[in-house]
């Protein structure tokens, strides 16, 4: 009878992990992120299951298996981080994978109050704080431009910097390099009014610029 009660309790833990993972995964799926609905469920349930098994194992301490869970989740998180242009994407999703695994472990250790509180915090961060983040992003005064040009002469760089000066943009050349037959410049540009439309239009229409990334 005690064994049946134990099994039912463990099944309840796994089901609870399923629910927590689903709640977090819905937001990622809604935003079409690499780790979506099913992934978050599997991470939470898997972490919970490993934690339960670690407590029942006689081969060593439970914290040894728990530490291996953290290591394994680190590899999964690294897989969703990717570089697009000069921007790094996937950091939030990787952090969310890490937190989801921690929630699964907390469920495995029967720490339900802490699981509920942290899950609520995660939901607030994902759904409520995003508009706040977008609001503060409007005050960013600096943008990095990676400019590719078929014109490798020093006169091109002078022309670009003259444009910045004439339009009262603050700028700094962070890096200058050559990729095959193109010159590549990385400029950090600041605009007091946070209006970079003029810069974008200039770079798009410039005949010597083959491409740029922000």
Among the candidates 137, 152, 186, a domain finishes at: 137
Domain harbouring 178, CATH code = 3.30.70.260
Q: Are residues 188 and 209 in the same domain?
A: yes
Q: Return the pLDDT at 115.
A: 94
Q: What is the 3-state secondary structure (H, E, C) of 84-113?
A: ECCEEECHHHHHHHHHHHHHHHHHHCCCHH
Q: DSSP state, 172? A: E
Q: Return the pLDDT at 6.
A: 79
Helix (H) or strand (E) holding 181: none
Among the candidates 71, 105, 137, a domain finishes at: 137
Q: Are residues 40 and 131 in the same domain?
A: yes
Q: At what angle do helices 62-79 and 37-56 cross, to 10 degrees?
A: 160
Q: Are residues 14 and 43 in the same domain?
A: yes
Q: Are residues 59 and 109 in the same domain?
A: yes
Q: Are residues 41 and 102 in the same domain?
A: yes
pTM reported for the whole predicted model: 0.68
The burial class, CB within 10 Å (0-12 / 13-18 / 19+), for 214 is middle
Question: Mean pLDDT across the chain, nearest whole number?
Answer: 84
Q: Are residues 70 and 156 in the same domain?
A: no
Among the candidates 120, 137, 154, a domain finishes at: 137
Q: Are residues 43 and 108 in the same domain?
A: yes
* 8 Å CB contact between 95 and 43: no
Q: Are residues 151 and 203 in the same domain?
A: yes
Q: What is the pLDDT of residues 99-133, one digit of tens each?
A: 999 999 999 999 999 999 999 999 898 888 877 77
Q: Are residues 105 and 164 in the same domain?
A: no
d(CA 208, CA 56): 67
Q: Are residues 59 and 165 in the same domain?
A: no
Structural domain total, the chain: 2
* Per-residue pLDDT at 144 exceeds 90: no
Residue-number span of the structural domain to which 202 is assigned: 142-213
Cα dihedral angle (141, 146, 152, 154), rounded to 10 degrees? 20
């Amino acid at each position: 009878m005690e064994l049946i009660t134990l099994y039912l309790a463990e099944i309840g833990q796994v089901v609870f992990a399923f629910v927590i993972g689903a709640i977090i995964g819905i937001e990622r799926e809604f935003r079409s992120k690499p780790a979506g609905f099913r992934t978050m469920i599997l991470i939470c349930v898997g972490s919970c299951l490993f934690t339960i098994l670690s407590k029942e194992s006689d081969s060593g301490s439970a914290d040894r298996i728990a530490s291996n869970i953290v290591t394994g989740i680190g590899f999964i998180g690294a897989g969703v981080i990717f570089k697009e242009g000069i921007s790094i994407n996937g950091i939030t999703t990787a952090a969310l994978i890490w937190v989801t695994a921690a929630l699964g472990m907390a469920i495995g250790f029967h720490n339900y109050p802490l699981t509920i509180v942290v899950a609520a915090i995660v939901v607030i961060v994902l759904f409520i704080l995003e508009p706040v983040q977008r609001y503060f992003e409007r005050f960013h005064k600096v943008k990095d431009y990676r400019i590719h040009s078929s014109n490798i002469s020093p006169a091109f760089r002078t022309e670009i910097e003259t444009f910045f000066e004439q339009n009262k943009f603050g700028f700094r050349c962070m890096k200058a390099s050559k990729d095959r037959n193109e010159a590549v410049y990385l400029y950090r540009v600041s605009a007091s009014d946070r209006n970079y439309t003029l810069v974008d239009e200039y770079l798009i229409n410039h005949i010597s610029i083959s491409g740029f990334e922000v």
